[in-house]
Chains A and B, each alone.
Chain A
Amino acid sequence: MRPLGPAQRPYQPPADAPRTRRDPAPSVMAYRFQRLWLTPIFRVFLRYGLPVIVILGGLVAYVSNPRNIDHLTAQVEELRRTIEARPEFRVTLLSVNGASPSLAEDIRKTLSLDFPLSSFDLNLPQMKTDLQAMPAVRNAQLRVAADGVLQVDIEERLPELIWQTRDAFLLIDGDGVVIDDLTSRPISAPLPLIGGEGADRAAREALTLIRISAPLADQLRGFVRVGERRWDVILSDGRRIMLPEDNPSFALDRVIALHQAQDILGRDILSIDMRRPDRPTLRLSAGAKENLDMLRGQLVVSGERQG
């Protein structure tokens, strides 16, 4: 049997002496490692599994410490701030176009911007919504123009009518939108007056009628919406022209034509009823009625007739 202990070598041959080469054999560990290395699942694990685990593990370890998170957030914030603070993004001026001076003042008050500020801090959609919520603004365009100017292009609602309600006199535009109270806003030019329930919804029609009634301008007082369906034209001395529901401008045209031809409004009438456009009806005052009867030769004491 071979000796079990370490081999005793009394004679060591010199290093350059030819020696019989010991049979090469892999160690158990080398053999096992090679077999492991040749295992497909192990290779797949090394190639994909291990990197994923290492990266994920590192991330999780980093994230699990709240101080790291804070530090990271702070750094991101800092970076963001430095970028935002660059002069290229600075907004220093607000320029309002297309608004009257008082409206421009209102807009500046509404936006209440504290210049200089970064264009990242501007919430343009929100600002646009805010501006469009203002009654005097029909449409607003906001953009950050060059040289740090916040350009606000306003399409202003101009008051076109005065709407008399029970409580107040309101300024409305052609779409019937209430812009302001008459008392709180000075107007530059006189505006036509309309009244009645629902008059604001028919403002566009009222404007048309007003344009048509230009020849009557000297005696025109205003327009009254009756029953939310038709217009009465109020003239001086409380005379009325009752316009039909359908096609009132035609009816008004006829009245004006009558007036120009026969001076109908110069006569002693209370109202012209055009609700049946094909049959204008006049209501005469009491004196006029008597005169008419007299002219017709039918002088009857009104009291008897009534009786």
Chain B
Amino acid sequence: MMNNLYQMQRAMRAKRQEALKRGVMAVLDVGSYKISCLVLRFDEGAMGYSGDRHAALAGQSAFRVIGMGTTRSRGVRFGEIDTVQETERAIRTAVQAAQKMAHTRVDHVMVAFAGARPRSYGVAGEALVRDKTVAEDDVARALASCDLPDLGEGREVLHAQPVNFSLDHRTGLSDPRGQVGERLAVDLHLLSVEANAIEALLYCVKRCDLELAGLASSPYVAGVSSLVEDEQELGAACVDMGGGATGISIFMKKHMIFADTVRMGGDHVTSDISQALQIPMAHAERIKTRFGGLVATGMDDREMIELQGDTGDWNHDRRHVSRAELIGVMRPRVEEILEEVRARLDAAGFEHLPSQRIVLTGGASQVPGLDGLASKILGNQLRLGRPMRVQGLPQSACGPAFSTSVGLSLFAAYPQDEWWDFDIPAESYPARSLKRAVRWFRDNW
């Protein structure tokens, strides 16, 4: 299984390299509320993910957004694909709009999604350094020596990022290559998701005539775009409140060390409103975004909201509720989501981290009064985050709802080293000599 995944990820990485060479790539955020597609143009010469990852301006100068398309999501629930055909149509809509704006055809796409029950694992491995100086081969052997935990039936690894290297007694190395030592130990953060979600996604992307150039977890890329550099360095949690799922990712020393999702989001708030006020979902969504809030004041008792309906019953269609009532419907659900986030953070041991910073982002974080409510539940060091500014991004895509898209763009331009970026150590090749010779030729010629 692991080998299979390794091949697939390497194939995707090769396609990403191809897209970077071609200079145009699309990133697709498959969310439960909206599906958005950004078309990126990469500058010539500024490529190379294995190069300097911590470039000036945090790397966003290497690409430019030349097209954007957003459409209402359909067929996606809890951040995972529910109806393949509907999702395919939605992806087609978004991609077509983005292509039209970019005046370019895109063939390669990177996809981020929130759901599929991500689960984090910390894995450790170690290897003896072969000739004093740590080479790439030693890193590969250390990574290969990691014990793969039992992921469970039908689960695949989505991210496997080395987050920490230790050489003899020194720890906290971000890149051990070139260092002198004997024993190289590595800590690997492994994120596994349900395999059928990936399958459905692959199917959709293939049906749209696109090539999948990479997969990313939405909580992770939201953290990449919303956390500023020192937050990523010192440790912070990013809570990406989406439509169908709320993603949590914890960053430390510029690496994600934990990710999880709460399978609740803004759509649940909408459905609560719809049920409580007995109005259609579309109308409930409109009322939520227009009048919604979390903290009721005396003023809100007097502000009446007209409820519209098309049942034909005059009394039912001509009702009014006060804004306080609306807030009364919304607040418990948001509280529930935040409580759940708190529980997940506690389970992850977030309180032991030196910094207790929490950043709220995502579309559902735009509810007025969320910062006050969340700071009561999640702690004081809390802020509402917007994604980093990238070149060419339209004004309409600068809000927190697009932190996943922007983060995925950053991830596409400056990917994290993952486990499969290192070659499988030579010992584990099955048929050694011939394949190695072929491989050597392919790599060097």
Contact = CB atoms under 8 A, between A and B. Distances in A.
Q: A and B, one complex?
A: yes
Interface of A: 2, 17-18, 20, 23-26, 28, 30-32, 34-35, 38-40
10 contacts: A20-B280, A23-B74, A23-B93, A25-B89, A30-B96, A34-B99, A35-B105, A38-B103, A38-B104, A39-B105
Contacts of A31: 92, 95-96, 208-209
Interface of B: 71-72, 74, 83, 89-90, 92-93, 95-96, 99-100, 103-105, 208-209, 280, 282, 310
A26 B93 contact: yes
A250 to B, nearest CB: 95
Q: Top 3 nearest A-B pairs by Cβ distance?
A: A38-B105, A25-B89, A25-B93
Contacts of B83: 2
Given A30-B96, A39-B105, 16 more contacts: A18-B310, A23-B71, A23-B72, A23-B90, A23-B93, A24-B93, A25-B89, A31-B92, A31-B208, A31-B209, A32-B209, A34-B96, A34-B100, A35-B99, A35-B105, A35-B209
Pick from B93, B105, B282 the residue with the most CB of A within 10 Å. Answer: B105
Contacts of B96: 26, 30-31, 34
A112 to B, nearest CB: 75
A38 B99 contact: yes
Nearest to B92: A31
Contacts of B74: 23
B90 A25 contact: yes
Contacts of A26: 92-93, 96
B107 to A, nearest CB: 9
Contacts of B310: 17-18
B99 to A, nearest CB: 6
Contacts of A35: 99, 105, 209
B368 to A, nearest CB: 27
B246 to A, nearest CB: 24
Nearest to A1: B83
Nearest to A34: B96
Contacts of A17: 310
A26 to B, nearest CB: 5
B76 to A, nearest CB: 12
A5 B89 CA distance: 19
A38 B100 CA distance: 8
B282 A20 contact: yes
B75 to A, nearest CB: 10
A25 B92 contact: yes
A47 to B, nearest CB: 15
A26 B97 CA distance: 10
B418 to A, nearest CB: 30
A173 B103 CA distance: 88
A26 B98 CA distance: 13
Nearest to A20: B282
Pick from B83, B90, B96, B103 the residue with the most CB of A within 10 Å. Answer: B96
A19 to B, nearest CB: 9
A18 B89 CA distance: 24
